[in-house]
Amino acid sequence: MPLPHILLALLVTLIWGVNFVVIKVGLADFPPLLFCALRFALAALPLLFLRGPMPAPFGRIVQIGLLLGVVKFGLLFVGMHLGMPAGLSSLVLQGQVFFTLLIAAFFLGERPSPRALLGLALAALGLMLIGFGRPLGDSLLAFLLVVAAALAWAFANIATKLAGATDMLRLICWVSLIPPLPLLALSWVFEGPDAIAAALAQPSWGGIGALLYIAFLATTLGFGLWSFLLQRYPASLVTPFALAVPVSGLLSGWLLLGEALSPAGWLACVLVFVGLAITVLPKGALPRLFSGNNRLTPGP
């Protein structure tokens, strides 16, 4: 993977790491299923300006939309609403990396190399250090919902890989058309029309800002770039980058909010990024990088 694409993947992890704090802000104003429905309704708006044919078979778009928008984010938002902390949610959700590797091996025949497995083991150790001693939240159910969301994301990764799309921006916009109606129906049944009306009547500026962030940065830009990478590289090479999401969440909290980061936290961050480097960089790239030759892939 060339350096510009590695930087794109790291940009996505930064956007998604901050996103968990933003979700908590938005959930103070909106019920979780309504919040998720509004997110995807806004994320679909660029289709008003985009021209061209459907970027993938409609059945595949529906599949991705249901897995990613309704199941994954529906479960995640409800789990966080029930008490899962933002930082721990970002950690647990990265179980999707390991779920994706197993599903890709079974359905796509992708086999991670021993070197990649070593890198993943180091990154997993870093995640364990991040999660050690952090509170589970108020409910075991909330925890299990986020685990289920991670599994749904893994299946969505494989569906995205199989979509065969080349225009990733249009793909994620088309995918965003699918979740709003099912999520609104679920919100009407489980959250109630009174809660929906109250949330829409008097949202705060913080809630509006959170909605715009998760709709356009985390969804349109973040998943557009993620899908772009999944179409060009094996899922077993792209998905490990998501292991850096909890790290970016910790670092953004430290930089922007002044949240303390312990020595164990710093060690965990180092382990995750070393593990990622071993997993995604070609053999011998690290010595070349530190020697000043940063051309990570062959090229003219």
User: Is pLDDT of 284 > 70?
Assistant: no
What's the whole-number average pLDDT of the chain? 80
Among 147-151, 193-197, 271-275, top mean pLDDT goes to 193-197
> pLDDT, tens digit, for every residue of 229-245?
888 888 777 877 877 77
Residue 180: per-residue pLDDT: 95
Among 11-15, 112-116, 165-169, the range scoring the smallest mean pLDDT is 112-116
Residue 104: per-residue pLDDT: 81
Mean pLDDT of 242-250: 75
User: Is pLDDT of 97 > 80?
Assistant: no
Q: Which residue has the higher pLDDT, 259 or 93?
A: 93
- Percent of the chain residues past pLDDT 90, beyond the cut: 27
Q: Which residue has the higher pLDDT, 181 or 266?
A: 181
How far is the C-alpha of 21 from the C-alpha of 278, rounded, in Å?
A: 29
pTM (predicted TM-score) = 0.74
Residue 45: per-residue pLDDT: 92
Give residue 223's pLDDT band: very low, low, confident or very high (50, 70, 90).
confident
User: Is pLDDT of 257 > 70?
Assistant: no
User: Is pLDDT of 26 > 50?
Assistant: yes
User: Is pLDDT of 167 > 50?
Assistant: yes
- Percent of the chain residues past pLDDT 70, beyond the cut: 79
User: Is pLDDT of 48 > 60?
Assistant: yes
User: Is pLDDT of 289 > 50?
Assistant: no
Mean pLDDT of 164-190: 90
